[in-house]
Amino acid sequence: MDTTPLDDAASGFIAIPGQGVAGAARIPTLYIRAVEKAGGRAQVFCPFDQLRADENVPEDITIHMDVDLEDVSVLDKACGLLLPGGGDVDPIQYGQPRHPRTRGVSRERDRYEINLLRSALKRDMPVLAICRGFQLLNVTMGGTLIQHLADEGERLDHDRDMPRAEPVHSLKIDPNCYLAEIFGKLEVPVNSHHHQGLDIVAEGLDQIAWSGDGVLEAVIASGYTWVVGVQWHPEVMAPMSSGQLRLFEEFVNAARRYRERTAAA
């Protein structure tokens, strides 16, 4: 594991917050590998001071531990922000009491990722928000969440035991949106590992893809150059799906354009 001091970090990387709860971090390795496969590179920034005891970190991954929750300067040398999956966003962030099935909450992680996201949006930095990140994007911009989809009548089985490469259901994509260009078709099979979903969609987020039971699966923030949120786990499917990999390739390309734009400013 490379623990390069933050001041020495090279510019032009994708910043990814570390995962985890209860003060013990997990490394978002699959997300890092998807970024690398798409031609980019990533560094991890974690607000926790230690890793989980069972965490095995590859030697080639750069991780910065115990980052200050208010410190968004990590984005000064970054060219993109990827918000990964994980535990639920604390309902206090959108003004609701906690549902009995809400789980894996980390207020430290919420606070840090919201601070990073707000800073990235202010910079018009490319953002790819996945699963929990998709939900956090909505909450940060003023939306709310359904805390347990299974409470709401007939639903697909969205909450599989873990993110797997095999598809669980299909998406129906708005034919006029950017995601349709990425995948080159209007119906796409995806995996699924979530028990929550978007409820009130924040102003500024365009709804662009849905599962068969009406659960919103993708948004874009059209007021920014490149901000995409998806509910499924493309990082797991990217090694064997060219369409899912293309999402990361487009993100990395947007990050390159951001780096060129800010370097020229």
Q: Report d(CA 25, CA 43) in Å as an integer.
A: 14
Model pLDDT, residue 220: 98
With cut-offs at 50, 70 and 90, classify the pLDDT of residue 11. low
- 146: β partners: 197
pTM: predicted TM-score of the whole model, two decimal places: 0.94
The reply to whether 235 belongs to the active site is: yes
Q: Which amino acid is at 142?
A: G
Higher pLDDT, 21 or 63: 63
Share of residues in the chain with pLDDT > 70 (%): 94
pLDDT at 113: 98
In 3D, which of 217, 213, 153 has the Cα closest to residue 191? 217
- Calpha distance 251→249 (Å, rounded): 5
Of 148, 193, 194, 233, catalytic: 233
194 in active site = no
Active site residue 177: no
**All structural domains of the chain with their residue ranges:** 6-264
Cα–Cα distance list, 194 to 42, 197, 210, 229 (Å) = 25, 8, 14, 14
Q: Is 60 helix (H, G, I), strand (E, B) or coil?
A: coil
- The average pLDDT across 92-96 equals 98
193 DSSP assignment? B
Among the options 131, 158, 194, 249, which is catalytic?
131
Q: What is the pLDDT of residues 117-152, one digit of tens each?
A: 999 999 999 999 999 999 999 999 999 999 998 887
For residue 179, the SS3 value is: helix
Domain spanning 6-264: CATH superfamily: Class I glutamine amidotransferase (GATase) domain (3.40.50.880)
Given the residues 217, 235, 249, 250, select the one marked as catalytic: 235
Q: What is the DSSP letter of 147?
A: S
